[in-house]
Amino acid sequence: MRWVPGRALVATIGTALVVLLGTAVTLVVTNGDSKDTAAGQQPLSADDYPELGLEHVHALGVDPADGVLYAASHFGIFRIPATGKATRVANRYQDTMGFTITGPNTFLGSGHPDLRENLPSRLGLIESTDGANTWVPLSLSGKADFHTLHAVHGRVYGYESGSGTFMVSPDRVQWETRSTRPMRDFVVDPQDPENILATTSDGLLRSTDGGRTWAAVAGAPTLVVVAWASPDTLYGIDTDGAVHHSRDGGAGWTERGTIAGEPEALTVDVRNGAQTLYVAAERGILQSTDGGTSFTTRYADRSS
C-alpha cells in the first residue's frame, strides 16, 4: 500500500468505484443528495466491496469518549475494534487526509469528499461532533486539502498539501500562512505553541517561532512520521521502519524496535500513566506498549 498524490485522489476513488461496481450500481447526485439505484437499491458497503476497505491510512486517533481507535483512510473513516472487523463510519467513502481528535466524539478533518456527495473536491477544514457520522465545513472549503492537522494551545495547525504551506488558525476560520516547504508530517510541543518538529525528505526540522522559519535537527534520523507523547517524549519511525525515541524534546534520538515496511501513520494514546503506540503500515495496524521496542498486530484485515 502506498500513498496516492493529492491531485489524483478523487480520480483514483472514482476509477475504483467504476471498476468495482460496473453496472451494478449507478450513483446519482442531485443537490447534495445521493442515491444508489439498480440491483436491489442497496448502498455501497465494505462487506460487498472489500477492495474499497481500509487502504492508505492517513491518520490514526483514539477517541477519549470510549477509547476506540479510529483510522482515517483513502476510502473512509473506520472504527477499529479490539476484536472483529473494522467498521466504515456512516458508510461514507470520504478520503480523509488530515485528521485529528479534539475531544469526545469530536474530530477535525480535511481531504476529499465521497463522490456521492455534492461537495467541493477540497474539503478545507471540516468538523464532526458525532464521531465522524456527519461533518460540517468550518473554513477554506474548496480551497485547502490539509494532509496533517493538530489542534493544541487553542489553535489549529495544518499542512496544506496543494500549496505546500504550513498554516495556523486561532479560531478555525481565519488562517495565517507561516511558511512554505514540503513536509511529510509535523507535531507541536504540548507545552510550547511555538516549538514544532516536521519530518521532510531532507531530515527532521525544528521551528521555534511557530512554523515561520525552520532549521535542521543535527544528528536526527530521517523520520517519516512522528508523535509527541509527553512534554519531553517523542516517537518517530523512519523510511526503513526503524522506531526512534527521544527523551529530550527531539534533540537526541535512540533506536528502539522495527516494523515491516514504511509507516503510513503514527499516534500515541496516553492514559493512566501508560503510553500505547499505534502504527499503520503495510501489514495492518500495529500496537506497542513498551515504547516501540516490540509490536503486536492490532488489526490486519487490510487489502493489499
Residue 81 pLDDT: 86
Q: Is the pLDDT of residue 304 over 80?
A: no
Query: What confidence category does residue 48 fall into, taking pLDDT thresholds of 50, 70 and 90?
Result: very low
Percent of the chain with pLDDT over 90: 75
In the predicted model, what is the mean pLDDT of the chain? 86
Which three cell numbers, joined as nine digits, stand for 142? 474548496
Flag whether the pTM goes above 0.95: no
Query: What confidence category does residue 283 fall into, taking pLDDT thresholds of 50, 70 and 90?
Result: confident
- Cell 476529499 belongs to which residue? 112
- Cell 467513502 belongs to which residue? 93
Three state DSSP letters for the chain: CCCCCHHHHHHHHHHHHHHHHCCCCEEEEECCEEEEECHHHCCCCCCCCHHHCCCCEEEEEECCCCCCEEEEECCEEEEECCCCCCEEHHHCCCEEEEEEEEECCEEEEEEECCCCCCCCCCCCEEEECCCCCCCEEEECCCCCCEEEEEEECCEEEEEECCCCEEEEECCCCCCEEEEECCCCEEEECCCCCCCEEEEECCEEEEECCCCCCCEECCCCCCEEEEEEEECCEEEEEECCCEEEEECCCCCCCEEEEECCCCCCEEEEEEECCEEEEEEEECCEEEEECCCCCCCEEEECCCCC
Q: State CA 5 to chain mean position distance.
A: 14
What CA–CA distance (Å, rounded) separates 79 from 72?
9
User: pLDDT for 197-249, tens place per residue?
Assistant: 999 999 999 999 999 999 999 999 999 999 999 999 999 999 999 999 999 99
